[in-house]
Copies of this chain bind each other. A is one copy, B any other.
Amino acid sequence: MIYPQIIGSSLISQDAKNRVELLQSNMSSPMGAYTSNSKGHNYVRQSIARYIEERDGPAVNADWNNIYLCNGASEAVRTSFKLLLRDQKDGVMVPIPQYPLYSALLALDGGTMVKYYLDEEKNWGLDTNDIHKRIKNAKDLGINLRGIVVINPGNPTGNVLNRGDIEDIIRICHENEIVICADEVYQSNIYTDTAPFISFRKVLAEMGDPYSESVELISMHSVSKGLQGECGLRGGYFETVNFDPFASDMIYKLKSIELCSNTIGQVAAQLMVDPPKAGRESDACVEQFTKERDSIFQGMQKRAGLLSDTFNSMVNTKCTKIEGAMYAFPEVIFSPKALKKAEKEQVPADFMYCMDMVEQTGIMTVPGSGFG
């Protein structure tokens, strides 16, 4: 509930009050209560479905019944892996370099990690031949490949996949009956015109038969990244596409054990997918929102350019262009002397370099070897 004196106060803008009333009138339980559906508030899930349809165009029909709210995207990955993995023989393909959440959850859930390598020469794009080879190897080892993780825009690589790469993944998954786990949490962090974000959802729908009605996809998004970055609220969602009703029931069961994801995070997700818009909110509100959003975006875009340009202007350092996300993954070419020192100290050379850097300059970096 909102205290009447606050609703009546001039301190809160009329637009904010309207949004509160919109949410309250559309939610069947108050913020302090469990949501009546363990998947999350229906209204939030309906808002997300509209967002996906607006983002992806006419080929996509998003069904809000297949959208699940969660405590951040990490929980979405955990739920997905819980669903996919039955025993050690079940495998999930993970890109290298990877965000270490994936290897950690695979270790925890007792599945097998099947690595595939992103191609630095292709700006950390996909190497389809490598994927084919790894699938064959995994099958030869008796591993049941159940899913493939694709992080787009890339974490920690900062690349954005092109449509051709996405189509290739979809074809491979169709052929091998593999579920696509698309980590798309950086979809709003896109810094160049030449590499726009294209969702797996959109490409899948637009590819038509036989893909659009058969390839299984889980797409994840979060309020932790983008331009709001409200990571402490732990708000996120995932959408499933082409899932068998039995699998959907199992997800619902998994969600029911958790009762519901936190309601403030759910509301944050609603605000992310349904920002102020002309006509509904006042001009002043839309203008202020646009200004703040653009200012945050331009700051990130500028820093992304500055970072890769600076790396590339340095001796023995190079870096692919940061197209998206919040990361640079530069290559540092070590001198034979440095390599020898690292060998002597029995640490990876990049680890030694990062430790030296923080000690000498105070700049914190993470060694690339931590990402595989």
A interface vs B, CB < 8 Å? 5-6, 9, 11, 29-35, 71-72, 74-75, 78, 82, 101, 104-105, 108, 229-234, 254, 257-265
Cα distance A11–B72 when bound, in Å?
Answer: 33
Cα distance A261–B232 when bound, in Å?
Answer: 8
Inter-subunit contact B9/A233 (CB<8 Å): no
Inter-subunit contact B32/A230 (CB<8 Å): yes
Taking a contact as CB atoms closer than 8 A, the residue among B30, B34, B231, B262 that contacts A259 in the complex is B231
Taking a contact as CB atoms closer than 8 A, the residue among B75, B82, B263 that contacts A233 in the complex is B263
Write the nearest CB–CB distance from A348 to chain B, whole angstroms. Answer: 21
* Interface hub of A5, A72, A82, A259 (most chain B Cβ within 10 A): A259
Taking a contact as CB atoms closer than 8 A, the residue among B72, B230, B231, B257 that contacts A104 in the complex is B257
Q: A6-B11, A264-B233 are in contact. Are A75 and B258 (CB under 8 A)?
A: yes
Cα distance A265–B72 when bound, in Å?
Answer: 14
* Interface hub of A74, A108, A262 (most chain B Cβ within 10 A): A262
Cα distance A262–B71 when bound, in Å?
Answer: 8
Q: Given the complex, which residues of B lie within 8 Å of A259, measured CB to CB? A: 72, 74, 231, 234
Taking a contact as CB atoms closer than 8 A, the residue among B33, B105, B108, B233 that contacts A231 in the complex is B33
11 chain-A/chain-B pairs, Cβ below 8 angstroms = A11-B11, A29-B232, A33-B231, A34-B232, A35-B232, A71-B234, A71-B261, A78-B257, A101-B257, A231-B259, A262-B265
Cα distance A273–B305 when bound, in Å?
Answer: 47
Taking a contact as CB atoms closer than 8 A, the residue among B33, B105, B260, B263 that contacts A257 in the complex is B105
Write the nearest CB–CB distance from A292 to chain B, whole angstroms. Answer: 14
Inter-subunit contact B32/A232 (CB<8 Å): yes
Seed contacts A32-B233, A105-B257, A233-B262; 8 additional CB < 8 Å A-B pairs? A32-B230, A33-B232, A35-B232, A71-B71, A75-B258, A78-B257, A234-B261, A264-B264
Q: Given the complex, which residues of B lie within 8 Å of A257, measured CB to CB? A: 74, 78, 101, 104-105, 108
Q: Given the complex, which residues of B lie within 8 Å of A75, measured CB to CB? A: 258
* Interface hub of A31, A33, A230, A232 (most chain B Cβ within 10 A): A232
Write the nearest CB–CB distance from A249 to chain B, whole angstroms. Answer: 14
Q: Given the complex, which residues of B lie within 8 Å of A104, measured CB to CB? A: 257
In the complex, what residue of chain B is closest to A3 when comparing beta carbons? B11
Q: Given the complex, which residues of B lie within 8 Å of A232, measured CB to CB? A: 29-35, 260, 262-263
Across chains A and B, which 7 residue pairs bring their CB atoms closest together, nearest first?
A: A232-B263, A234-B262, A32-B230, A262-B262, A264-B264, A33-B232, A104-B257
Cα distance A43–B278 when bound, in Å?
Answer: 42
Q: Given the complex, which residues of B lie within 8 Å of A258, measured CB to CB? A: 71-72, 74-75
Q: Given the complex, which residues of B lie within 8 Å of A29, measured CB to CB? A: 232
Cα distance A239–B274 when bound, in Å?
Answer: 39
Q: Given the complex, which residues of B lie within 8 Å of A74, measured CB to CB? A: 257-259
Write the nearest CB–CB distance from A7 to chain B, whole angstroms. Answer: 10
Cα distance A299–B231 when bound, in Å?
Answer: 38
In the complex, what residue of chain B is closest to A82 when comparing beta carbons? B108
In the complex, what residue of chain B is closest to A268 when comparing beta carbons? B32
Write the nearest CB–CB distance from A105 to chain B, whole angstroms. Answer: 7
